[in-house]
Amino acid sequence: MTVLITGGAGYIGSHTVLALLEAGHEVVVLDNLVNASRESLRRVERLTERTLIFVEGDIRDRTLLDQLFSEHAVSAVIHFAGLKAVGESVQQPLSYYENNVAGTLVLCQAMQAAGVTRLVFSSSATVYGDGHPMPLHEGLPTGEPTNPYGRSKLIVEELLRDLADSDSAWSIVLLRYFNPVGAHASGQIGEDPRGIPNNLLPYVAQVAVGRRDCLAIFGSDYSTHDGTGVRDYIHVMDLAEGHLCALHALAERQGVHIWNLGTGQGHSVLEVVKAFEQASGQAVPYRIEPRRPDDVAACWADACLAERELGWKAWRSLAEMMADTWRWQHNNPDGYR
Ligand code: NAD
Ligand code: UD1
Three-state SS annotation for 175-241: EEECEEECCCCCCCCCCCCCCCCCCHHHHHHHHHCCCCCCEEEECCCCCCCCCCCEECEEEHHHHHH
Residues 109 and 64: their CA atoms lie apart, in Å, by 12
Contact between 82 and 99 (Cβ < 8 Å): yes
Q: Which overall architecture, per CATH, does domain 200-230+265-300+318-331 show?
A: Alpha-Beta Complex (3.90)
Question: In the prediction, which pLDDT does 59 show?
Answer: 98
pLDDT value at residue 289: 98
Is pTM, for the whole model, over 0.95? yes
Question: Which pLDDT score is estimated for 112?
Answer: 98
Which tens digits make up the pLDDT trace of 227-278?
Answer: 999 999 999 999 999 999 999 999 889 999 999 999 999 999 999 999 999 9
* Predicted local confidence at residue 118, as pLDDT: 98
Which residue out of 122, 199, 230 has the highest number of ligand 2 atoms within 8 Å of its CB and is therefore the one to mutate? 199
pLDDT number for residue 34 = 98
Please say whether the beta carbons of 220 and 286 come within 8 A.
no
pLDDT score recorded for residue 88: 96
Query: Residue 159: what pLDDT?
Result: 98
SS3 66: helix
Q: Is 171 exposed, middle or buried (0-12, 13-18, 19+ CB in 10 A)?
A: buried
Q: Is residue 198 a contact partner of residue 86, using CB atoms and an 8 Å limit?
A: yes
The whole-number pLDDT of residue 97 equals 98
Q: At what angle do helices 236-250 and 11-22 cross, to 10 degrees?
A: 60
CA of 87 to the centre of ligand 2 (A): 11
Residue 190 near residue 183 (C-beta atoms within 8 A): yes
Supply the pLDDT for residue 47.
98
Asked whether this chain's domains 2-183+233-263+306-310 and 200-230+265-300+318-331 adopt the same fold, the reply is no
Burial class (CB in 10 A: 0-12, 13-18, 19+), 215: buried
Q: Which parts of the chain register pLDDT below 70?
A: none
Instruction: Sketch the domain layout of the chain as residue ranges.
Output: 2-183+233-263+306-310, 200-230+265-300+318-331
Distance 295 CA to ligand 2 centre (A): 7
Active site residues: 149
Instruction: List ligand 1's pocket residues with C-beta within 6 A.
Output: 6-7, 9-13, 31-36, 58-60, 80-84, 99, 103, 122, 124, 177, 179-180
Which residue has its alpha carbon closest to ligand 1 atom 17? 58
According to CATH, the superfamily of the domain at 2-183+233-263+306-310 is NAD(P)-binding Rossmann-like Domain (3.40.50.720)
